[in-house]
Amino acid sequence: MTEISVSLNNVTKRYGAFTAVDDLSFEVAKGEIYGFLGPNGAGKTTTLRMMLDIISPSSGGLEILGSTSAITVRQRIGYLPEERGLYRKMKAAESIAYFAQLRGVPKKKAYSKAYELLEQFGLEKFARSKTEALSKGMAQKVQLLTTIAHEPELLILDEPFSGLDPINQQTLEELIKHQSESGRTIIFSTHVMQHAERLCDRFLIIAEGKKRFEGTLGEARAAFAQRLHVRTDASVQALRALGGVLEIRVEEAGREGEETTYEIELEDGADPQEFLKKAIAAGIAISRFEQAGATLHDIFVALAGDEQDDAQAASATLHKAAAE
């Protein structure tokens, strides 16, 4: 039986008349890398804060590491908030050791772990540098190390890639993979699909506080229209006559008498191999036939793209409601 690290059941969070999270349910299995995806203002941070017992849901229930309150299991959790912040006058090694001690690690072991992590991530020469002297990317690395220094079972990372350059983003991806290989459960929120596509075992897409999709990338692709790249001298009309075609676009037009490359979007449920069989049966010569599943970006835009402006407006309402 699969062990569950986090479970939300019909969780709703309201601020007055505004609903930030609406009847949200999902489970995260132990050892999973779970992506929490959505546009800005979709309810991602609000949900993470409810999971951590920073704020309470208006209705519904949740469990985290077998407890109904993250407070009772806080030493088993590592949390990287969206709002970064370190003590500016504290040295890098001191910062890591300090937060490890707050989570129950003895002082000597905390400092040993701090220097070990700084060396592991190429920051050993900055161990005695004050955080105010570090670059933004280095400071974010140090903050991430404060999150993992006590070796938590569960990592919750809120927009961890925000503000990092491509090299540091790759370093962070490698760190997440390493933490996962060590058996830790990782939940991270993002609105950048490439990271989730490379890292996640499963993901949830949320928009306007509601769940739009939960599952694997393969499951998401199966739910969306298949696309084909086909090179042939056949006409658009001949290709449409094969059936199951939603749309045909010219990718590369051939000169007179030459083949043209088309991108063909099939109807939901249409089988690409059946399309190819019909083409052969109809005597259509095809020199290129390539299936292209939807990317996570395509899926995200289809499910949440039209609601980005609404989500940003909702975010402004949420901040106003919270301030009141």
Per-residue tens of pLDDT for the chain, all 324 residues: 679 999 999 999 999 999 999 999 999 999 999 999 998 889 999 999 999 999 999 999 999 999 999 999 999 999 999 877 788 899 999 999 999 999 999 999 999 999 999 998 888 999 999 988 988 878 888 999 999 999 999 999 999 988 788 888 888 898 899 999 999 999 999 888 889 989 999 999 999 999 999 999 888 877 776 789 999 999 999 999 999 998 999 988 877 778 999 999 888 778 888 999 999 999 999 999 998 777 788 788 878 865 544 444 444 444 444 444
* Cβ neighbours of 120 (radius 10 Å): 12
- The structure tokens listed for 84 are 């970064």
User: Are 89 and 133 in contact, with CB atoms under 8 Å apart?
Assistant: no
Residues of the chain with CATH 3.40.50.300: 4-221
pLDDT at 319: 43
Q: N- to C-terminal Cα distance for the chain?
A: 45
259, containing H or E segment: none
Place of tokens 């939603």: 246
Architecture of domain 4-221: 3-Layer(aba) Sandwich (3.40)
Q: Is 258 helix (H, G, I), strand (E, B) or coil?
A: coil
pLDDT at 184: 95
What is the topology classification, in CATH, of domain 225-292? Alpha-Beta Plaits (3.30.70)
pLDDT at 99: 93
pLDDT at 140: 84
Mutual orientation of helices 92-102 and 107-120 as an angle, nearest 10°?
130
pLDDT at 84: 74
Q: Which DSSP string do the residues of 264-299 spell out, in sequence order? A: EEEPTT--HHHHHHHHHHTT--EEEEEEEPPPHHHH
- The structure tokens listed for 108 are 């000597």
Residues of the chain with CATH 3.30.70.260: 225-292
Place of tokens 């769940």: 211
Residue 72 DSSP one-character state = G
Residue type, 247: E
pLDDT at 270: 81
- The structure tokens listed for 193 are 């699909």
pLDDT at 82: 81
pLDDT at 215: 93
Residue 152 DSSP one-character state = -
- What residues contact 75, with CB distance under 8 A and at least 6 apart? 103, 104, 150, 152
- The structure tokens listed for 191 are 């609105």
